[in-house]
Amino acid sequence: MIVDARRRLIDLNHVVTDGLITYPGLPAPVISEHLSRQDSRSRYAPGVEFSIGKIEIIANTGTYLDSPFHRYTDGQDLAQLPLERVADLEGVVLRTNISGRALTAAAAARAISAATFRDLDVRGKAVLVQTGWDRHWGTEKYGEGHPFLTADAAGYLIDSGAALVGIDSLNIDDTADLHRPSHSGLLKAGIPIVEHLRGLDQLPETGFRFFAVPVRVAGFGSFPVRAFAMVS
């Protein structure tokens, strides 16, 4: 295999660990062993051992992708989602005006307006919104006052032909708005959503490919992914 030394692979996901709290109020994963190395020794030749792990996990854990089925009964589930919608997508990073600053309550409430997206070429691309909120991951602050996309911002991305939208925040919607307009609009348009990204500051604004591939589970609308970018 020929490896292009000019390419870099950059992880953009959080690590899933036993007891991890991703979203306040949702249960943490429980990671254990179904078969330990010690117990496996009696099943194999001398010196041979294996570990078979077991994990109890809800779909919305760590960095995860939402397919249309997450919101709509007749939407594509994870097994139906085409690879072309989640892998090898040309990417663009939108760095918001609150990125890299201590986010005050007033700034969080302001959210991200559609005006921020003007003149951004997103057709057929993965649009990754960098808010800098990932710096609060693992703290109580992460679950409070997060940045989000307004309905008009999501609508602009839909009308402009975005292929996928991701954000490094708790939720792409304001969790106080029970209508969830960004989820509703994007998923109705067949646009997958990736939440809880991290490290978007490592990426250039353009010139990279984005991947966020979930397991093909029938009847599921969300699942953790190993999101990453390939930078030339």
Distance CA 15, CA 171 (A): 18
Chosen domain end from 32, 56, 80: 56
**Considering the domain boundaries, does residue 118 fall inside one?**
yes
156 lies in the same domain as 225: yes
**Considering the domain boundaries, does residue 166 fall inside one?**
yes
The tens place of each residue's pLDDT in the chain, 232 residues long, gives: 455 667 899 999 999 999 999 999 999 999 999 999 999 999 999 999 999 999 999 999 999 999 999 999 999 999 999 999 999 999 999 988 654 444 444 555 556 777 777 677 899 999 999 999 999 999 999 998 898 998 998 999 999 999 999 999 999 999 999 999 999 999 999 999 999 999 999 999 999 999 999 999 999 999 999 999 999 8
74 lies in the same domain as 42: no
Instruction: Provide the strand spans (E) within 1-151.
Output: 8-11, 30-35, 52-56, 64-66, 89-95, 126-130
32 lies in the same domain as 111: no
DSSP state of 149: B
Domain that holds residue 28: 14-56
Distance CA 86, CA 100 (A): 27
**Considering the domain boundaries, does residue 5 fall inside one?**
no
87 lies in the same domain as 50: no
187 lies in the same domain as 99: yes
Total domain count, the chain: 2
Query: What's the half-sphere exposure (Cβ side, CA atoms, 13 Å) at 101?
Result: 12
Question: Which uninterrupted H or E stretch holds 40?
Answer: helix 37-40
78 lies in the same domain as 138: yes
**Considering the domain boundaries, does residue 2 fall inside one?**
no
Residue type, 164: L
